[in-house]
Amino acid sequence: MSLALKARKVGLRLLEAIPTVIGILVVCFLLTRALPGDPAAYFAGPMADAESIEQVRRNLGLDQPLPVQFVNYVTDLLTGNLGMAISTGQPVVAELATRLPASLELTLGALLLSFLIAVPLGVMAATRPNTWVDHLCRFLVTAGVSLPTFFTGLALMYIFYYLLGWAPAPMGRIDMMYLPPETVTGFYTIDTLIAGDWETFRAAIAQMALPLITLALFTLAPIARMTRAAMLQTLGSEFVRTARAAGLNGRRVLVTYAFRNALLPVVTTLGMVFSFLLGANVLVEKVFAWPGIGSFAVEALVVSDYAAVQGFVLSMALLFVLLNLLIDVIYTLIDPRVGEES
């Protein structure tokens, strides 16, 4: 497939996302308005009188009819203004800019870690069924599925911080001794490397270790299972048998033919796991005082902070559109059939 064709395909996929995003905007706007509770009364404070509640309502623009509010919202959105998150006192854009990288760093890190462990584990379990590797795989999968993340998080914290004292105090992204690096990507691990500050890098990694392992345990299960199942299937398929019959060596059969084909469902699973992870993040963020997007969204929902909730949903929607696009692109790269179609 030529580059131009590929670019066109990607462009078309992006266009397809536009109606989805618009739909999400409308539904999200209506849903937040349908939430019970009166944000004006809440934010006016516990002792406010009716007059000051009205004043807050005017400040928030909530005294306008719904269509007007929606038009205002969309106009603001087009200028890149997502409004103020009243629950945290910051502009939503600023909140997303600091919190989204925090969550993504954790999520992507956990995904990478579990991918690095789960895929070899799954492959080994599939090639050596009913050996100790297979049993280990089964054990990890069962444990990962059945242990809720907040429990794993607390248990790890109890052992490695409370009892052994190996892990640093679970108080956010970086120990209090260090200052966060200059923001380039918002990922502390990458930013510290850019700044060449190894010590802060180590501190950031140390702080990340427990939440990362917690999340990786949770994502390990579906990836390992899917790898194992897909490998078993491809290893039993006709083209592998043909390859073996043709006298190709075992390694080549395993890697080039079986593994490459087995990766397709694994990549699909990765996309799904990523969305679970963002959900599971909320609990892990709470336990490790991680200033991420999940805990921000939950707090905002609880107090009916419209702008914050809308900003969160919008950013998540865009993230998913991008993610699906990315997965499609990866597909075309690794699926031997896609390349040949053209």
Partner 1 sequence: MDRRHFLKGAASLGLGASLLPYLKVLPASAATSETAVVVFGGTINSLDIHRSGTNRDSYQVAINCYDRLVTFGTKTLDDGSLSYDYDNVQPELAESWEISGDGTVMTFFLRKGATFWDGKPVTAHDVKWSFDRSVSLGGFPTVQMKAGRLESPEQFEVVDEHTFRITLPFSSKLALPDLATPIPVVINSEVARAHATEADPWATEYLHRNPAGSGAYKVARWDAGQQLVYERNEDWKGGALPGYQRVILREVPSQATRRALLERGSITAAHNIPNKDAKELASRPDIQVVSSPIENCIYCLCPNLDFEPFKDKRVRQAIAWAVPYERIFEQAAYGLGVPTWGGSKTVDDIAWPRRSPYSTNLDKARALLAETGYKDGFTVPLSFNLSHADWAEPAALLIQQSLAQIGIEVTIEKIPGANWRTIALVEKRLPLHLENFGGWLNTPDYYFYWAYIKGNLFNSSNYNNAEMAKLVDDTLDMAMDHPQYAPNVKRMIELAQEDVPRIPLWQPTLNVALTNGANGYQFWFHRQMDIRSLKPA
Q: Which residues bind partner 1 (CB under 8 A)?
A: 36-39, 41-49, 51-52, 55-56, 59, 86-90, 95, 98-99, 154, 157-158, 161-162, 165, 168-173, 175-177, 179-180, 182, 286-289, 291, 295-296, 299, 302-304
Amino acid code (one letter) for 49: D
Asked if residue 224 lies in contact with residue 138, where contact means CB atoms within 8 angstroms, the answer is no
Asked if residue 222 lies in contact with residue 273, where contact means CB atoms within 8 angstroms, the answer is yes
Which residue, 198 or 239, is less far from partner 1 as judged by CB?
A: 198
CA nearest 174: which of 63, 80, 289?
289
Closest distance to partner 1 from the beta carbon of 171 (Å): 5
DSSP state string for 160-226: IIIIS--SPP--SSS-TTSPPPPPSSS-HHHHHHHHT-HHHHHHHHHHHHHHHHHHHHHHHHHHHHH
Closest distance to partner 1 from the beta carbon of 289 (Å): 4
Q: How far apart are the first and last CA of the chain?
A: 6
Cα 266 vs. chain centroid, distance in angstroms? 17
Distance CA 119, CA 225 (A): 9
Amino acid code (one letter) for 22: I
Which residue, 231 or 284, is less far from partner 1 as judged by CB?
A: 284
Amino acid code (one letter) for 109: G
Which residue, 160 or 276, is less far from partner 1 as judged by CB?
A: 160
Which residue, 166 or 239, is less far from partner 1 as judged by CB?
A: 166
Distance CA 29, CA 71 (A): 11
Closest distance to partner 1 from the beta carbon of 244 (Å): 54
Which residue, 175 or 328, is less far from partner 1 as judged by CB?
A: 175
Which value, in Å, is the radius of gyration of the alpha carbons in the chain?
A: 24
Which residue, 84 or 258, is less far from partner 1 as judged by CB?
A: 84
Closest distance to partner 1 from the beta carbon of 44 (Å): 5
Distance CA 233, CA 229 (A): 6
CB atoms within 10 A of CB 71: 11
Which residue, 262 or 278, is less far from partner 1 as judged by CB?
A: 278
Distance CA 6, CA 2 (A): 6
Amino acid code (one letter) for 55: Q
Distance CA 134, CA 114 (A): 17
Tokens representing 208 are 């990340």
Helix H or strand E segment including 330: helix 306-334
Closest distance to partner 1 from the beta carbon of 164 (Å): 11
Closest distance to partner 1 from the beta carbon of 173 (Å): 8
Closest distance to partner 1 from the beta carbon of 320 (Å): 24
Amino acid code (one letter) for 75: T
Closest distance to partner 1 from the beta carbon of 277 (Å): 19
Closest distance to partner 1 from the beta carbon of 198 (Å): 13
